[in-house]
Structure 1
Amino acid sequence: MSLYDRNLALLDTQAIAYRLVEHEPVLDYPTAHAVRARFGLRGVESKSLFLRLKDGRYAMLVTAEGARADWPRLKTLLGARPSVASDAELIELTGCVPQCACPFGHAAEIELVFDDALLGHEHLLYSPGPPELTLEVATADLPRLLASLPNRVHHLHASAP
């Protein structure tokens, strides 16, 4: 099953409504903004960073466009020093395209770090794998989605982790 299929299955299994649009490949935020305007997409653009941890584990950080990674907080939360994984690791372990990492639908051993600040927006926009597709999902449904994942989920709060 492809990453795209896994994402739609996750949403369908949890009865989470979504809007899916097809467009030119989105590999940067200016293109994402143009697509958002053209299709009337609502919400915040996701930013997903695939992390390699010093102890050999991997994690996907899911936050909002423009957010900066707080490396000391991530180390405390994950229990090991993180760094951005290579493009080759991203492709091999997630099936994602570099510059278009998908936040959900990964193997259970890939941990998820979810920035709870995303819940302050009405919708989350993200690619379900192919950079030519964007999903719009209500953030009110994200806690249910996160609870259904096989991945260990860490919550990054506005205060200390």
Structure 2
Amino acid sequence: MALLQKANVNYREETHEPVFTYEKAEEVARRLGFTGAESKSLFMKLKDGRFCMLVTLQHQRLDWKQLKNALGGKASFCSDEELKERTGCEPMCACPFGHPADITLVIDECVFASEKLVFSPGPPEKTVEISVEDVRKVLDCCDNPVVYLAEREME
């Protein structure tokens, strides 16, 4: 939340019952009137020990070859313990931004195809919605390296 404020972007934050599934996220979004695309943040570790947070959309499938080419090495999903330890996020509630500077942000450009993006800022009982134009402003304020994955067709 501090990063959103630092980037001086408008956002909508709502508190609700804990959300740990996309089905529950859709139910909460409908009830609270969120209109943005639901994000999916996947915490990963590369073979060389680097960490990254892949930010994409809920229905996007991961293209492992594209990810490997963009990062220069193979990646695998981190354990729930690594997620908590390195980011402070709860499993199923990883946030796309606000991580330590040594975590590379991998942004799937499909994120920019919608008008708004909906994501968990960390706690499972919070949801945030921002415009995709503001996503770029937030990324500009991050201390993290940022890598972009070229947009591809939804699968």
TM range (shorter): over 0.9
Question: Which amino acid counterpart does residue 84 of structure 1 have in structure 2?
Answer: F
Q: Aligned runs of 1:140-155 on 2, under 5 Å?
A: 140-155=133-148
Show the counterpart of 2:58. Answer: 65
Report deviation, 1:141. 1.1
Find the aligned partners of 2:80 and 2:2 in 1 and give their Cα distance.
26
Report deviation, 1:20. 0.4
Q: Aligned runs of 1:84-123 on 2, under 5 Å?
A: 84-123=77-116
Find the aligned partners of 1:81 and 1:10 in 2 and give their Cα distance.
29
Show the counterpart of 1:4. Answer: none
Matched, 1:55 2:48: yes
Show the counterpart of 1:11. Answer: 4
Find the aligned partners of 1:158 and 1:140 in 2 and give their Cα distance.
16
Find the aligned partners of 2:134 and 2:82 in 1 and give their Cα distance.
30
Show the counterpart of 1:27. Answer: 20
Question: Which amino acid counterpart does residue 138 of structure 1 have in structure 2?
Answer: S
Q: SS of the counterpart of 1:141?
A: helix
Show the counterpart of 2:69. Answer: 76
Question: Which amino acid counterpart does residue 76 of structure 1 have in structure 2?
Answer: N
Find the aligned partners of 2:54 and 2:34 in 1 and give their Cα distance.
23
Question: Which amino acid counterpart does residue 86 of structure 1 have in structure 2?
Answer: S
Where does structure 1 differ by over 2 angstroms across 4 or more consecutive aligned residues? none
Report deviation, 1:13. 1.5
Unaligned runs of 5+ in 2: none
Find the aligned partners of 1:158 and 1:127 in 2 and give their Cα distance.
23
Report deviation, 1:158. 1.8
Question: Which amino acid counterpart does residue 90 of structure 1 have in structure 2?
Answer: L
May I ask how many residue pairs the two structures share in their alignment?
A: 152
Show the counterpart of 1:3. Answer: none
Report deviation, 1:83. 0.5
Q: SS of the counterpart of 2:52?
A: strand
CA contact (8 A) 2:90 2:123 kept: yes
CA contact (8 A) 2:6 2:141 kept: no
Find the aligned partners of 2:98 and 2:50 in 1 and give their Cα distance.
17
